Copies of this chain bind each other. A is one copy, B any other.
């Protein structure tokens, strides 16, 4: 296709026109069109709603929807829905969950649920005077947001606090109106942003139009929630006697396993290269739950990783303690997720996911997601420090490798049997299939 042309008015085309245009970029446009349409939902109304989640929508991208059973948290057992394209993530979460269910399960505590938004402004005026007038300004601002906050207040949430922050030490003439919110069971982005835009207008008119201030006008640069929510924090942990690890691996004694495990976590605390991968494994589980429940994983990731770097060095999100023969392993991270609003109740599969979890409130979902993250992380470190990550991962990935060689069902059966005792690799699978196909 011609890769030089600008297309005008694409968004105005209807879906079939868009599809017709796009399919021409394939070598076989008719086939491409059929393939794209094969991913539509059979119910036209349902498909229309899915299309309306986003823009220029042509079809759906299918992600495997699976579950990790036996996730015990604070004594309650969940079957946790997970959406993830990476093989072995759900298997690892399931194994970790079942392992810990036998030792009291996960323990979890929501430490805080506060969200934050900011109005950023530049001003050369008398900040001390503005600060002294803040009680009055604050009243005006809250009055402006009252129509927006009424519903949230009925649900027990709303604006918790607001303050003016002097940031001129880091940027000339830079100040913030920093606002704390309780958004209850919603992630709250739209609610917070709508309030902040009212506050921005309010603060501008208070300073620029009230006659109280002279000189240069106050300039609002932007008003927006922060995805960094260090005060929306959940802590989840597992614990047992060190001696309980006696059967975790054939080749390792309990105390040797714990020693290696401890070193692995310490390494993730002192080496950024390892820390990023360590934390990535945690988010494998957390994001899979976020996706399954209609939550925004980019917000979760940005927040969690920025938090991992809060001390000035990017580190592990987990912490291990071994004292007096007791093993204690915890994950603490900020997790701003919702169980109402957004797609949580609009997307039929997100809705089902929440039903499967017993329609939890947001704090309970924070606990569930972080428990799955911890299960995945525990599983990863256990594999890494014992038999290595590849044997399990490649076994899970074996069917994908077989599919990439278009293996028939009977070939898959033979391969699964054979690779129980052999190392899985692309060249190994290729060789094995060749041997079957050549009748060897």
When the two chains form their complex, are residues A94 and B190 in contact, meaning their CB atoms are under 8 A apart? no
Contact of A94 (CB < 8 Å), options: B11, B292, B294: B11
Instruction: Note all chain B residues with C-beta closer than 8 A to A335.
Output: none
Instruction: Note all chain B residues with C-beta closer than 8 A to A403.
Output: 49, 52, 346
- Of the stretches A114-122, A127-135, A207-215, A432-440, the one at the interface is A114-122
A106 to chain B, nearest CB (A): 13
A94 to chain B, nearest CB (A): 7
Assembled-state Cα–Cα distance A433/B287 (Å): 35
A64-B70 contact in complex given A87-B53, A427-B147, C-beta closer than 8 Å = no
A226-B309 contact in complex given A10-B69, A54-B86, A400-B346, C-beta closer than 8 Å = no
Q: Judge whether A263 is part of the interface by a CB distance below 8 angstroms.
A: yes
Q: Judge whether A349 is part of the interface by a CB distance below 8 angstroms.
A: yes
When the two chains form their complex, are residues A226 and B174 in contact, meaning their CB atoms are under 8 A apart? no
A298-B302 contact in complex given A1-B358, A390-B193, C-beta closer than 8 Å = no
When the two chains form their complex, are residues A118 and B274 in contact, meaning their CB atoms are under 8 A apart? yes
- Of the stretches A25-33, A242-250, A323-331, the one at the interface is A25-33
Instruction: Note all chain B residues with C-beta closer than 8 A to A284.
Output: 298
List the 8 closest A-B pairs by CB distance, nearest first. A305-B305, A309-B309, A228-B276, A222-B384, A54-B64, A60-B62, A301-B301, A52-B399
Q: Judge whether A271 is part of the interface by a CB distance below 8 angstroms.
A: yes
Q: Judge whether A66 is part of the interface by a CB distance below 8 angstroms.
A: yes
Q: Judge whether A101 is part of the interface by a CB distance below 8 angstroms.
A: yes
Q: Judge whether A177 is part of the interface by a CB distance below 8 angstroms.
A: no
Q: Which residues of A, 63-90, contact B by the 8 Å Cβ criterion?
A: 63-70, 72, 76-79, 82-90
A195's closest neighbor in chain B, by CB? B390
A64-B60 contact in complex given A25-B356, A277-B302, C-beta closer than 8 Å = yes
A4's closest neighbor in chain B, by CB? B77
Q: Judge whether A58 is part of the interface by a CB distance below 8 angstroms.
A: yes
Instruction: Note all chain B residues with C-beta closer than 8 A to A397.
Output: 190
When the two chains form their complex, are residues B120 and A274 in contact, meaning their CB atoms are under 8 A apart? yes
Q: Which residues of A, 307-342, contact B by the 8 Å Cβ criterion?
A: 308-310, 312-314
When the two chains form their complex, are residues A227 and B62 in contact, meaning their CB atoms are under 8 A apart? no
7 sample A-B contacts, Cβ–Cβ < 8 Å, listed by A number: A3-B78, A55-B87, A200-B388, A219-B260, A280-B298, A287-B297, A305-B308
Q: Judge whether A41 is part of the interface by a CB distance below 8 angstroms.
A: yes
Residue of A79, A171, A266, A310 with highest tally of chain B CB at under 10 A: A79
Instruction: Note all chain B residues with C-beta closer than 8 A to A343.
Output: 85, 400
A406 to chain B, nearest CB (A): 10
Contact of A89 (CB < 8 Å), options: B1, B54, B170: B54
A422 to chain B, nearest CB (A): 13
Q: Judge whether A112 is part of the interface by a CB distance below 8 angstroms.
A: no
A221-B385 contact in complex given A54-B85, A70-B7, A404-B346, C-beta closer than 8 Å = yes
When the two chains form their complex, are residues B276 and A298 in contact, meaning their CB atoms are under 8 A apart? no
Assembled-state Cα–Cα distance A120/B54 (Å): 44
When the two chains form their complex, are residues B151 and A427 in contact, meaning their CB atoms are under 8 A apart? yes
A286 to chain B, nearest CB (A): 9
A384-B223 contact in complex given A90-B54, A272-B228, A425-B148, C-beta closer than 8 Å = yes
When the two chains form their complex, are residues A277 and B61 in contact, meaning their CB atoms are under 8 A apart? no
When the two chains form their complex, are residues A226 and B53 in contact, meaning their CB atoms are under 8 A apart? no
A285's closest neighbor in chain B, by CB? B298
Q: Apart from A54-B66, A60-B62, A225-B277, what are 17 other A-B pairs with CB-CB below 8 Å?
A: A7-B69, A54-B85, A55-B66, A55-B87, A55-B94, A58-B67, A61-B64, A85-B343, A86-B298, A120-B271, A147-B427, A221-B385, A223-B389, A280-B298, A283-B301, A284-B298, A346-B403
